Structure 1
Amino acid sequence: MINKLTLSVCALVIGTSSYAQAKQPEFAAHHCKAGEINAQHYRNFPAALEEAQNRLQGLAAVKQARENKAADISVMGISASHKYIIPVVFHVYGTVHNGDTVNDAVIIDALYKTNEDFQGQTADFADIDPEFTGVKDSLNVEFRLAELDPEGNPTSGIIYHPQSSGAGNYSSSDVKNDHWDNYKYMNVYIQNDLYADGVTNNSGVAWYPDSGMSDDGLARVTYNGAYLGTNTDENFRSVLTHEFGHFLDLIHTFEGGCKRGAAKRCGKTGDKNCDTPQQNSWQMNPGDGGILNCLGETINWQNFMAYSDQYANYTQDQVDRMVNGLASPARQSLWSASNLVATGTNY
């Protein structure tokens, strides 16, 4: 089995000492703030929670569409029926992150490989545990750098800003001041200190679809340039894929832990996907915590929405959830034909 060397994480929340003071550890008991920040967002904005609950009502139609196409599509499922193109703009704050350089080439490479992850084009997609060969799936999506800016001028889709921090905080002034229309562009913010707390090895964070955030210019993925593309190893760079999954409405596979009573309510508990078995905790890999859950089931430890030693796949239920998320008010306009023309990504 191909082993991608490192255990990747969403946001490595390690401590408060600065990188300059000492090398920060790259692993701890609480890594990813996606679950935490989205739960807090729903507490702060009840309308956002209501929108999320209403969005889930569309999943039945998506799943029915998959069933209707089952006779013609094998493993690739509904993902083969439509190609989604998402215009992206990267906002880069400072070009040296933990000693690694962030430039156009690094970003282009990172986005190319993220597209390969989503499309099931990597070698690891064929190298997963046999329990999941029948449910692994890919999303026919391409994230493209915008070629026209909001004023219609040519752009590389990569905008450089002076070094700054805090884009992982909900009301970041950088995000408010520098964002491009959230209904036209997927905004990705590259910083080294995501929470302006002196910690420079948090890797990334993202919010689920929410029209209120898009209205306010706050919809985004925030990511550390030190873990972007060739600035890290082959496995860790897939954490960007993990964050893009959050942006399209995916939850961590280990959300809620493992509870025997939740097995019959898999569509409403944990990550709300029935083909991703519950996980006892985030720390489950072949050499670290084992891969059998509290029910004795093999978990999909190679899932992009886990913390994996070998990121490899999404599942059919996850793809359905992303397709449903792409149809939400906060994401649907991104891939519309008119918007692809407006952003120069209609090629």
Structure 2
Amino acid sequence: MKLEKSTKILLTALLAFNVLLTSCSKNDDSVGPSPIPEPGNEVVYLPVVVHVIHNGETLGEGPNLSNERIERQIEILNEDYRRKLGTKGFNDHPDGGDAQIEFVLAKKTPGGEQTNGINRIDASQINVPDLGYNQNHYAQYAYWDTSAYINIWTTPLPESAVCLSLGSATGPETDLPGTEFLTIPGPNDADGIMVNWIHFGESDIDCHARFGRTLTHEMGHFLGLLHTWGSGECDTNDFCDDTPAVDEHVFGSVPYLGCAGEEIMIGNYMNYSHDAVMNIFTKDQIHRMHYVLKNHPGRNALLTSPAL
């Protein structure tokens, strides 16, 4: 979850990379629902639906985001995950990589009708119980089959929430160590991603989070990634060997020395860094996402979704 210091932070999972390699080796020969190619060999595609929750505003005004802004956000997401040359998502760091994951706005609704992947809901016309700012509350307005769609809700928070509340995401339950620290949805909980409409896509707001990286960060959690600082311990943190160890939350845009005097990776998408400097997923982080896509039944099912 990419939030400011005063906002509560979702519990993050801890994962030892050496255990991850062992787990991957252990499962390589197993028959899963849909095999995932190794990163770098083939691109995988994941369908998303953007539920635009608004309060009756005209299309393109306030929380009722324009199609163009939503489409541009998905474009940014793909620039970041594909490390595309000529975009803010490119880096030439030796530990960086192309995640070989692309996101596609759904082409069919659960009922089989054609869609542009944007589902607009006027919340002023619907009465639902007040469950607070969480996925369960917004899922009452719209919630599509999680085996076929990644549900994303843009939430109609007031403009006073700019730079205060950015987004949150649920995580996948797998056999990997640290799963207990993820926000795993229970039997009656919604699974998906929330993003404050103000931080969805590009804008000229007076905030460091204005280039669409909130969704990049939250999608990382949805696919099983941790914050770089993990539990806040130098010898554990996120257990990715190629993310320099850090034992505290990372904010800002200027790198500094973390554990053992090593410079932190300020540009990593799994920090709370400024959008302007974010530009890297490491190879270990990429392998973790592909492990989740291979071994989590719900995430794996997305690969063959009829919504594609």
TM-score tier after normalising by the smaller chain length? 0.7 to 0.9
Aligned residue number for residue 113 of structure 1: 76
Aligned residue number for residue 299 of structure 2: 331
Q: 1:307-345: per-residue Cα shift (whole Å, max 9, x none)?
A: 223001100110011001112122000012xx2xx21x2
* Partner Cα distance (1:178, 1:333) in 2: 20
Aligned residue number for residue 32 of structure 2: none
Q: 1:106-163: per-residue Cα shift (whole Å, max 9, x none)?
A: 10000011111000015445556xxxx2211121111111111111111121111124
8 Å Cα contact 1:100-1:231 kept in structure 2: no
* Partner Cα distance (2:199, 2:287) in 1: 28
- Superposed displacement of residue 206, structure 1: 0.4
Name the count of aligned residue pairs. Answer: 272
Structure 1 regions of 5+ residues with no counterpart?
1-8, 13-28, 40-51, 67-76, 263-268
Aligned residue number for residue 70 of structure 1: none
SS in structure 1 at match of 2:104: strand
8 Å Cα contact 1:167-1:175 kept in structure 2: no
8 Å Cα contact 1:176-1:218 kept in structure 2: no
Structure 2 regions of 5+ residues with no counterpart?
29-36, 125-129, 175-183
Higher helix share: 1
* 1:193 is the counterpart of 2:157: yes
* 1:248 is the counterpart of 2:220: no
Aligned residue number for residue 48 of structure 2: 88
8 Å Cα contact 1:180-1:217 kept in structure 2: no
Aligned residue number for residue 148 of structure 1: 108
- Could you tell me which amino acid in structure 1 is paired with residue 43 of structure 2? K
Aligned residue number for residue 257 of structure 1: 232
- Superposed displacement of residue 94, structure 1: 0.8
Aligned residue number for residue 282 of structure 1: 249
- Superposed displacement of residue 171, structure 1: 3.2
* Partner Cα distance (1:246, 1:93) in 2: 22
- Superposed displacement of residue 282, structure 1: 2.0
8 Å Cα contact 1:150-1:181 kept in structure 2: yes
- Could you tell me which amino acid in structure 2 is paired with residue 253 of structure 1? T
Aligned residue number for residue 229 of structure 1: 201
* Partner Cα distance (1:121, 1:205) in 2: 25
* Partner Cα distance (1:188, 1:79) in 2: 25
* Partner Cα distance (1:244, 1:214) in 2: 19
- Superposed displacement of residue 83, structure 1: 1.6
- Superposed displacement of residue 258, structure 1: 4.4
TM, length-normalised to structure 2:
0.76
Distance of aligned partners of 1:151 and 1:33 in 2 relative to their CA distance in 1, 3 Å threshold: same
SS in structure 2 at match of 1:323: helix
